Structure 1
């Protein structure tokens, strides 16, 4: 019997081939560099200002470096711009010793007169930490640092010498050093900032970026492409590529067609159904990343009746997760019953499960006073994400499930950037969203998603603020033993499972696909994609 879904997919790919003219293409970019077909346009080119993985993938590991890095194999913290560091026994004072051979990008709009020094570290950190900093108000917010409350944790940053800084903390932090290796902790050029200030063009710091990373920004046409050139004076291992191009291609089927026609060397996030084509295709390799993410259905707890716990629980009981796993993920995801995946050392494996039970769901809805015919909206991004390959289709499955308990659903789909802006206004009933963890510390799955600070700055998609939950996270962060810390995090997950501001759905494997002559693309957990070591034979 013919698999209709697979047949339809082949037809879409064939259509794209006809449209694009799928002959083998050979041009200067393909020969001398690499073309990455990405899934969307970045908001800007500074990870400090966003939690959007599209923006972070476009700049985090290409344009910038950090003080420290995460070893992708051992997950140990290793030197980067800081060649070494020390701390006092209390863990409140850190000294970082900088490399003296790090050059900034020489671009059409900036020519550096010196190498990296302590002023650049202080400039970069104080931008998001100190409200009086001349560049602080250039961005609307610094969501990751603010939800992690790093701006409150750091008491002071002191310049000891040209190549030594000292960071003083208000209190010890179990995760501070690991935080410095995340994609958000990029180092900017203080000299470039001074130039923009003189020209009264401060806003360009995030759209015409300057960093120390392996590639320098050259050109960006929204919704079309981003062009990078190699940083000739890069301090680390020299990149093998002379140039890097992001071909912005929102449609997954079009990305697939471009890969098969060799118009792209690497494509982002092929859907689970497309893996049926790719897994046996000669000349194509598929690379996966462990499921350190969570897709979820968030309820706007500021809006009645979603402010009632019993309603949220009823909605969860009405959803057939097994149907979602079969029709959306095709076996490439694991069931989620917590924001933390089972691989986390703090995972709570004793949580009460919300098994599919439409009868019980109806009973709870009646108790809450929700009558048959109640109408609600589900917002969904019309773009593939690592944690959710097809949010629109998932919304359709949920809509069908809710119809069985007397709820009428309207699905509203948004372009990715537009969705993120609309969500910050808290006008939604519910939304299909997710989170990609930035580090292995379990706090990173909880605080940026559901803390009160995340709600205040508008990235808590449930708009939920529970002081008890925040207190548990703080107690865990201050704990002097792993056992105590785990106990607090177990309790935090129990609070979430009872209050249910969001309904965890899946922890998904994510993929890139590439031509078999492309090697050493870094596509790893807790990190944006990196082409620093990529090679093309």
Structure 2
């Protein structure tokens, strides 16, 4: 009898053990609590962000496009920060002072680690800036810096001097392209560094499935406040409606660049929040001014007259943002919002084309990437140009090839945008219109004008705001008259956010912080 009781007891123990194993989860999820209190559901620890294009490179010196910058913002840090109100704040530099008209001295934060474990010091600042100066893509951002006059005072003090007085230096040092690099990592990966980035930021690079997604993971040795979310995935979802559907179904938590056609859809969904805020972007239709027939100002002006651009923008953007009045958006200092538009005048357009010897019209191409609003604008422009005998073929070009092709001058007309990231007109004018900036640096119209060059040089060298403003006002008038652009759209950022996502705020420059986000 005793043996039977022992056997029965062992059987019961075994059954309990089997039941416990059967109800377990194989280690995939936390085991249930055995305490007397109810345990809350596990916190979601992966944030998925959808944007309209894949990054080109995560080397800040290899590209200056927005999709890349949005990812790089989480990986790298700059000496100076600009908050969502565009106010300058300490970054990796705790403080700074102006030593003379050309020189700033920066005191660096100590105890900062790179993602590869190395300490951040003044030598990294010098290495980063010298490398940036050699970049065709972002050299214009740091081009005022005198590479020979960068002085490492000690491990955590550095002096940065410009060749001439340069008023917006601090705001340029807040640009994502000046994120601090680690020399060891850059040299180790060589040409592959753009796919193996190393910064000091709150997230470090994990993996990249080209064309699909980029994954970042929390950097546990980050010197600042640790992000609440462990992993961030940036998904490439080019089609706007698909991005909105993914937001609705929970496939993504944040959707960048909600299409105007989807605004009501997001606003009417109680599980979603639509964030709207003016940005620093303008969109434009550019001409290749180095290429016939667009080397003739009369042709560029004619096309401006031939297009009812205000109606086009209102039809495509449906009340999001506003028709552009000039190169700079209304929230950029020294923006000239009093410029007179060309207006819609088909007869005037025909008259100018006849003067240019093109009364019978010509054939051309309009390049765009697969941004829906740009494609829609290209098609409407294509149709309106038929009234002046211009046969335009719309070509939708993959983003990387689009940037390469327009940098090389392979295009005729093209649709693109620019973000005046620093909030200073120098950044919104110099790279786009100075003759030294042709191609990848920003001037993809290949426009040249000696007076514009002179005024842009005055604007960046003078420390007198009145002198600067006067120069920039004149530049904008000349550009309006010589028409290397058709002014299109002044931007507004629209982001869709799941209602349980908190701590997200759009930055007017378009590269938003993710490391402040948490799930409610």
Q: What TM-score comes out, normalization by structure 1 length?
A: 0.86
Structure 1 residue 120 and structure 2 residue 103: aligned?
no
Determine helix, strand or coil for the equivalent of 1:36: strand
**CA contact 2:195–2:208 (8 Å) conserved in 1:** no
Aligned partners of 1:419, 1:495: CA distance in 2, in Å?
A: 28
Structure 1 residue 160 and structure 2 residue 153: aligned?
yes
Could you report, residue by residue, the CA deviation over 1:114-152 in whole angstroms, capped at 9, with x for unpaired residues? 4211121111111122x5xxxxxxxxx4423x2346265
When residues 370 and 267 of structure 1 are mapped into structure 2, their CA distance, relative to the original with a 3 A threshold, is same
Determine helix, strand or coil for the equivalent of 2:48: strand
Q: Could you say which residue in structure 2 is the equivalent of 1:325?
A: 313
Aligned partners of 1:41, 1:418: CA distance in 2, in Å?
A: 13
**CA contact 2:279–2:509 (8 Å) conserved in 1:** no
Structure 1 residue 528 and structure 2 residue 511: aligned?
yes
Determine helix, strand or coil for the equivalent of 1:48: coil
Q: What TM-score comes out, normalization by structure 2 length?
A: 0.89
Aligned match for 1:143, one of 127, 137, 140: 137
Q: Could you say which residue in structure 2 is the equivalent of 1:82?
A: 93
**CA contact 1:294–1:435 (8 Å) conserved in 2:** yes
Determine helix, strand or coil for the equivalent of 1:143: coil
When residues 534 and 344 of structure 1 are mapped into structure 2, their CA distance, relative to the original with a 3 A threshold, is same
| Aligned-pair CA distance for 1:360 | 1.1
Aligned pairs for 1:201-350 within 5 A: 201-350=189-338
**CA contact 2:50–2:255 (8 Å) conserved in 1:** yes
Aligned match for 2:183, one of 186, 190, 200: 190
Aligned partners of 1:193, 1:429: CA distance in 2, in Å?
A: 37
- How many pairs does the alignment contain? 482
Structure 1 residue 442 and structure 2 residue 425: aligned?
yes
**CA contact 1:346–1:490 (8 Å) conserved in 2:** yes
Aligned partners of 2:333, 2:419: CA distance in 1, in Å?
A: 17
Aligned pairs for 1:501-516 within 5 A: 501-516=484-499
| Aligned-pair CA distance for 1:30 | 9.0
**CA contact 2:132–2:142 (8 Å) conserved in 1:** no
| Aligned-pair CA distance for 1:518 | 0.4
Determine helix, strand or coil for the equivalent of 1:287: strand
When residues 456 and 296 of structure 1 are mapped into structure 2, their CA distance, relative to the original with a 3 A threshold, is closer
**CA contact 1:103–1:235 (8 Å) conserved in 2:** yes
Q: Could you say which residue in structure 1 is the equivalent of 2:354?
A: 366
**CA contact 1:182–1:527 (8 Å) conserved in 2:** no
Determine helix, strand or coil for the equivalent of 2:119: coil
Q: Could you say which residue in structure 1 is the equivalent of 2:385?
A: 402
Determine helix, strand or coil for the equivalent of 2:177: coil
Determine helix, strand or coil for the equivalent of 2:216: strand
Unaligned runs of 5+ in 1: 1-25, 106-110, 132-140, 385-389
| Aligned-pair CA distance for 1:362 | 1.1
Name the Cα RMSD after superposition.
2.0
When residues 427 and 82 of structure 1 are mapped into structure 2, their CA distance, relative to the original with a 3 A threshold, is same
**CA contact 2:329–2:491 (8 Å) conserved in 1:** no
| Aligned-pair CA distance for 1:208 | 0.5
| Aligned-pair CA distance for 1:527 | 4.8
Could you report, residue by residue, the CA deviation over 1:443-466 in whole angstroms, capped at 9, with x for unpaired residues? 111112122122155631211122
Structure 1 residue 393 and structure 2 residue 376: aligned?
yes
Aligned match for 1:177, one of 170, 178, 181: 170
Aligned partners of 1:30, 1:449: CA distance in 2, in Å?
A: 46
Could you report, residue by residue, the CA deviation over 1:76-96 in whole angstroms, capped at 9, with x for unpaired residues? 2111111111112x3312111
Aligned match for 1:33, one of 28, 43, 46: 46
**CA contact 2:130–2:147 (8 Å) conserved in 1:** no
**CA contact 1:147–1:453 (8 Å) conserved in 2:** no
